[in-house]
Amino acid sequence: MLQLEGVSSGYPNLPVLFDISFSVETGELVSILGGNGAGKSTLLKTILGDVVVSKGEVILGGERITRLPAHRRVAAGVSYSPEGRRVFPNLTVRENLVAGSHGVPTGELADQIRVVYELFPLLEEREGQRAGSLSGGEQQMLAIGRALMPRPKLLMVEEISLGLAPVIVSHLYVALRALCERGLIVLVSEQFQRFETQYSDRWVVLERGTVVAAGDRTDAHRLRAPAAG
């Protein structure tokens, strides 16, 4: 389980998140929703350890990771696929996966790459292809696959559907659901207009750095994007 208990965080002289509390059970996919500037990216980076917590606790699997640096949180099971994919364009698909395999013993590397290829068979077909020549959807698959290489307990994917066709987005969500069925915790950040109701177990809405609504797929009709201005 992932738990956030009264978490506030931000940047020097710029607080962003205020008293954030929610939890995600093992095997759940939870969507973090909000407009630009709502605090979604900062929230994921706070869990990762790239943004310092000023108040509250982040707990993963019963372990308080609030004060751990980012590299130790990765070792504790936190993994992050950033907005914009950020694959290494001049490396091949396989080389990108190897680059993400922090802490995986050399003798187990091939098995972990096989796990990624079973989830995304297209990546195996493109194994020797440079990542920069992949389509946007294929790059997103690769970014998620790379984040899976350290065998995390928690996978966070930022703006998963940005710039992608709906059919590709649905394929990605089906893959994430499969990961949940294997016991992974999945957090996905999305804009309201791209929210895939049927794939998320629950949702949390951020506005100006605070949680303003939360629910599950049965009451997604309550979701309303904040008015502009």
Question: For the residues of 121-136, what is the DSSP string, one character each?
Answer: HHHHHTTTSBGGGS-H
Single out the residue of 47, 78, 84 nearest to residue 161, CA to CA.
Answer: 84
**pTM to 2 decimals?**
0.91
Q: Is residue 227 part of a domain?
A: no
**For residue 167, how many C-alpha atoms fall within 13 Å in the half-sphere facing its CB?**
0
Task: Tell me the pLDDT of the chain averaged across its residues.
Answer: 91
pLDDT of residue 8 exceeding 80: yes
Burial 32-52 (b: 16+ CB within 10 A, else e): bbbbeebbbbbbbbbbbbebe
| Residue 208, SS3 per DSSP | coil
Same domain, 99 and 146: yes
Query: What is the mean predicted confidence (pLDDT) over 66-75?
Result: 93
Are 17 and 8 contacting, i.e. CB atoms less than 8 angstroms apart? yes
Q: How confident is the model at residue 104 (pLDDT cuts 50, 70, 90)?
A: confident
CB atoms within 10 A of CB 100: 21
Q: For residue 76, give both structure tokens.
A: 């504790």
Q: Is residue 139 part of a domain?
A: yes
Look up the CATH number of the domain holding residue 198: 3.40.50.300
pLDDT of residue 220 exceeding 70: no
Query: What is the mean predicted confidence (pLDDT) over 98-124?
Result: 93
Residues 81-93: tens digit of each pLDDT: 988 778 999 999 9
| Residue 116, SS3 per DSSP | helix
Same domain, 29 and 138: no
Same domain, 7 and 107: no
Q: How confident is the model at residue 193 (pLDDT cuts 50, 70, 90)?
A: low
pLDDT of residue 51 exceeding 60: yes
Q: Is residue 225 part of a domain?
A: no
- Looking at residue 48, its amino acid is L
How far is residue 121's CA from residue 151's CA, in Å, rounded to a whole number?
18
Domain of residue 90: give its range. Answer: 83-151
CA-CA-CA-CA dihedral for 89, 128, 156, 228, to nearest 10: 50
